[in-house]
Amino acid sequence: MDGRGRITALAAVLAVAGSGAAPAAAQLRTIYATESGEPAGDFDRRGGNPFASALITALEQPEDNLREQLAYDTLTFSDGRQAPETHAIDGATRLAPAEGEQAVALVLVFADYGDEEGLVSLPGAAFDAYRVGRALSDAGYDVRTVIAADAQGFGDALDAFALEAEGADRSLLYTTGHGVEVDGAIYILPPEAERATNMLDRAIPLADVKQVMEGEGNRLLIYAGCRDNPLGLTSEEF
């Protein structure tokens, strides 16, 4: 079973296991580095994705309104070219753990695509993985950073994190790589996707990742990839 298939299977198992009523505080919130239909930058004045720079600033120098802070700083670091989608953030949303909370985080990215004629590598994503991981660790998370080589590696890391998150008060997943949004659905492209006859067979739907992330406790999914569709793909073609 490939990485995507294992993610889907794990999501189904966790959905059954967690079918009982969850506490009111349990909620998965998703933050996107850019708006629907828009690309995400891979290199800003700090060397990575403008949203990653904004996220690190919010961890290191938190302000009262997280939603406004992330929006303002992402626009600033991108020179006005990128704005995040932060509708899931409300007054109760925090990035840093509260005192005494058991908090775990996974920074999981694709960065090395290896084919200059196809999907180009993302050096900014690799740079962001380490600096976001360090900022999360400094904020109080137990962090694992993984630059996945393929969908199998992505799935392995997500499987392990799903089990860690079950026992945590707070869990955060930061993920990126080449991404596309097709007919309203976001897909993360592993390096092997461009070699597939049907790219959908190798792509990782963000919806599957969300399903794995659902559960008790405070949960935050941060998707830092693109949401455009430069090739004009449709779900039938993709």
- pLDDT tens across 134-165, in order? 999 999 999 999 999 999 999 999 999 999 99
Position 8 confidence tier, pLDDT thresholds 50, 70, 90? very low
* Alpha carbon distance, N-terminus to C-terminus of the chain: 20
Mean pLDDT of 218-230: 95
Give 120's DSSP letter. Answer: P
Question: What ranges do the domains of the chain cover?
Answer: 3-17+28-93+101-223
Q: What is the torsion angle, in degrees rounded to the nearest 10, for the CA atoms of residue 231, residue 176, residue 209 and residue 28? A: -120
Whether the per-residue pLDDT at 1 is higher than 50: the answer is no
pLDDT in tens, 84-138: 999 999 988 999 999 999 999 999 999 999 866 678 999 999 999 999 999 999 9
Mean pLDDT of 210-233: 91
Percent of the chain with pLDDT over 90: 73
> Do 206 and 36 meet the contact criterion of CB atoms below 8 Å apart?
no
Give 4's DSSP letter. Answer: H
Whether the per-residue pLDDT at 72 is higher than 60: the answer is yes
More confident residue, 17 or 148: 148
Among 2.130.10.10, 3.40.50.1460, 3.40.50.2300, 3.40.190.10, name the CATH number for the domain at 3-17+28-93+101-223. Answer: 3.40.50.1460
Q: What is the pLDDT of residue 123?
A: 94
Give the pTM: 0.87
Q: What is the pLDDT of residue 230?
A: 86
How far does Cα 11 stand from its chain's mean position?
16
Mean pLDDT of 222-232: 91
3-state secondary structure of 205: strand
Question: Burial of 34 by CB count in 10 Å (0-12 exposed, 13-18 middle, 19+ buried)?
Answer: buried
According to the per-residue pLDDT averaged within each range, which of 25-39, 43-57, 86-100, 139-153 is highest?
139-153
The mean pLDDT of the chain is 87
**Could you give the CA distance from residue 95 to residue 77 in angstroms, rounded to a whole number?**
19
Q: What is the pLDDT of residue 5?
A: 52
3-state secondary structure of 73: helix
Whether the per-residue pLDDT at 200 is higher than 80: the answer is no
Whether the per-residue pLDDT at 11 is higher than 90: the answer is no
Mean pLDDT of 29-49: 93
CB atoms within 10 A of CB 59: 19
Q: What is the pLDDT of residue 175?
A: 98
Percent of the chain with pLDDT over 70: 85
Residue 176: CB partners within 8 Å, gap ≥ 6? 33, 40, 49, 109, 110, 122, 125, 128, 188, 223, 224, 225
Position 199 confidence tier, pLDDT thresholds 50, 70, 90? confident
**Could you give the CA distance from residue 100 to residue 103 in angstroms, rounded to a whole number?**
9
